Amino acid sequence: MEAADNEITRIKEVLRENPRGMNIKEIAAAVAMSRNSIAKYLDVLTAAGQLEVRYVGNAKLFYLAKRVPLDSMMSMGPDMIAVVDKDMRIAQVNSPFVDFIGAPRDKIIGTRLFDLASAILPVEQMMGWLQQEKAGSALPHEIHIKKNDKEMYFNALCIPTLFEDGDAGVALRFENISGQKQAELSKEESQHILEAVLYASSTPMYVIGKDHHILAWNPAMEKLSGLKAAGMMGTRRQWQAFYREERPCLSDLVIDGLAGRIQEWYPDSGLQPESPDGTFMAEEVLKALGGNSRRLRFTVTSVVDHEGDIIAAVETVGEIA
């Protein structure tokens, strides 16, 4: 028995070093065993679900099955997990899944997945995922459900696994990402509100990101500069609204933390006072706009993240009579 275990271990080690697979002849040569003995061991390992086989022409290539043992699967932290057999009956569930479904464990085990979860989980989608898993896909799927009037979001993943008797199964793992998703949705909503305010404003205004690329260019800014948003978005050409040659705008200085150089570029503005709220102002007489001399006031407000780092700058432009 010990000799057989050692030989099986040698076969698995050889296959681990050749993840693309090997045929019987190659395995026999690598472990110095007869092809008949190798064939016997490969049949045992394949039946136990430890090896998988694929065909290349008439040749069979054997490689280690990439499956997670069931015991390890069920202890994967707070995620909900349900393991189904080849007939799509639930064979095992963990406590988070039981709590979510709201039914006793003994009522869940043995129930077909579709009958149990169709009122809560998108089972038809899940059946499609299982087919993808059989085709070799292992991508997570985001699902959105509503339970007890509460919006919930999960990343769902189909993972091949093994039962103790060696039969193959599939574990469905659901990672609750509701908090993360709600934060993303809140950010998107805030972005939409910002854009609505920005584009509804009669004040010329634009926004640049940390890399100085234009993120927004409102209609009033289009009117002031004669430059359309479609041609400006994503570029670093904000200077073209005011100058004939490339140079930093006030927003560029602020985004780079160079408030101390504002007077150098805007000498009419005088010494820039300290701004605890990240707002800076400068004035300049320009002749580039329509050929007329116009005195403009630039105001830049910093946008910071939760750590206080500047991630964007909003610049408004006003004409001084």
Q: Which CATH number fits domain 68-176: 3.30.160.40, 3.40.1080.10, 3.30.450.20, 3.50.50.60?
A: 3.30.450.20
2-64 shares its CATH topology with 197-320: no
pLDDT band at 2 (very low <50, low <70, confident <90, very high): low
Q: Per residue in 241-300, pLDDT tens?
A: 999 899 999 999 999 999 889 999 998 876 666 666 778 999 998 875 555 678 899 999
Q: Per residue in 15-44, pLDDT tens?
A: 888 888 889 999 999 989 898 888 888 887
Least confident span in 33-47, 137-151, 200-214, 298-312? 137-151
CA–centroid distance for 305 within its chain: 20
pLDDT band at 71 (very low <50, low <70, confident <90, very high): low
The answer to whether domain 2-64 has CATH 1.10.10.10 is: yes
pLDDT band at 181 (very low <50, low <70, confident <90, very high): confident
Residue ranges of domains in the chain: 2-64, 68-176, 197-320
pTM reported for the whole predicted model: 0.47
The answer to whether domain 197-320 has CATH 3.40.50.300 is: no
296 touches 286 (CB < 8 A):
yes
Percent of the chain surpassing pLDDT 70? 80
Percent of the chain surpassing pLDDT 90? 26
